[in-house]
């Protein structure tokens, strides 16, 4: 019995090795992925097309050389748009709801039935009372308070939410504004949630 099991184990390893050697060509894999997305929702196929920044980040595995990083950051700065009234902070209460909402552009959200959310708690701690939050990004608790609620810091937060690659090329954070995922008003609301003295983030 023991000999049989050892034999089966060796055969299993050989089979796995054979499968690894028979890996499909990249073009076959790309076609399969593209077709599956097209079937899920017609407009999702466009997500497979990388823009110039995504191509550069993929090519350099999110660690671009200084010259490429400078180009990415310059494109990010050129993408920035600000509210027509110049107010970079909106309603922090709306921002809190946006920060807690993960709604938007998932396959279960098609067609859209609500506004997109920022899903900020997936990566950041904001309100110290929150029990569940991600740690991919830094804690933002007391962010505005620690920076004396300075106007320059408000602008920096707005810009980072709109397009974080202004600060860090190939940043993990999504380009919420540059990709049109959130509106300028929503970005201002999120900025207020991070920077307003009245926000629970700064209590």
From first to last of the 203 residues of the chain, give the pLDDT tens digit: 444 444 444 444 444 444 455 778 888 887 887 777 666 566 666 777 899 999 999 999 999 999 999 999 999 999 999 999 999 999 999 999 999 999 998 878 877 789 999 999 999 999 999 999 999 999 999 999 999 999 999 999 999 999 999 999 999 999 999 999 999 999 999 999 999 999 999 99
Query: Residues 120, 123, 127, 132: is their CA dihedral positive or negative?
Result: positive
CA distance 180 to 186: 11
| CATH architecture label of 79-202 | Orthogonal Bundle (1.10)
Indicate the domain borders of the chain. Answer: 2-48, 79-202
Residue with tokens 């990004």, as numbered in its chain: 137
Nearest-CA neighbor of 90 among 202, 199, 201?
Answer: 199
How many CB atoms neighbour CB 130 within 10 A?
15
Nearest-CA neighbor of 110 among 185, 51, 186, 47?
Answer: 47
Q: What is the pTM of this model?
A: 0.80
**82-112, pLDDT tens digit by residue?**
999 999 999 999 999 999 999 998 878 877 7
Residue with tokens 């300028």, as numbered in its chain: 184
Give pLDDT, residue 3: 44
Using the 8-state DSSP alphabet, how is residue 49 labeled? S
| Mean of per-residue pLDDT scores for the chain | 87
Nearest-CA neighbor of 179 among 97, 105, 96?
Answer: 105
**13-40, pLDDT tens digit by residue?**
444 444 455 778 888 887 887 777 666 5
């Amino acid at each position: 019995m023991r000999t049989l099991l050892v034999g089966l184990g060796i055969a299993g390893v050989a089979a796995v090795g054979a499968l690894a050697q028979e890996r499909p060509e990249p073009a076959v894999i790309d076609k399969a992925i593209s077709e599956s997305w097209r079937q899920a929702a017609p407009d999702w196929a466009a997500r497979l097309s990388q823009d110039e920044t995504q191509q550069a980040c993929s090519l350099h595995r999110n660690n671009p050389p200084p010259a490429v990083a400078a180009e990415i950051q310059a494109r990010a700065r050129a993408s920035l748009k600000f509210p027509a009234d110049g107010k970079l902070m909106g309603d922090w209460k709306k921002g809190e709801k946006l920060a807690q909402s993960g709604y938007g552009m998932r396959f279960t959200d098609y067609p859209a039935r609500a506004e997109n959310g920022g899903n900020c708690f997936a990566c950041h701690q904001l309100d110290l009372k929150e029990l569940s939050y991600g740690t991919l990004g830094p804690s933002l608790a007391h962010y505005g308070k620690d920076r004396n609620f300075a106007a320059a810091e408000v602008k920096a937060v707005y810009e980072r939410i709109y397009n974080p690659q202004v600060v860090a090329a190939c940043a993990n954070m999504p380009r919420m504004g540059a990709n049109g995922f959130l509106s300028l008003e929503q970005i201002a609301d999120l900025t207020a949630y991070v920077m307003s003295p009245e926000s629970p983030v700064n209590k």
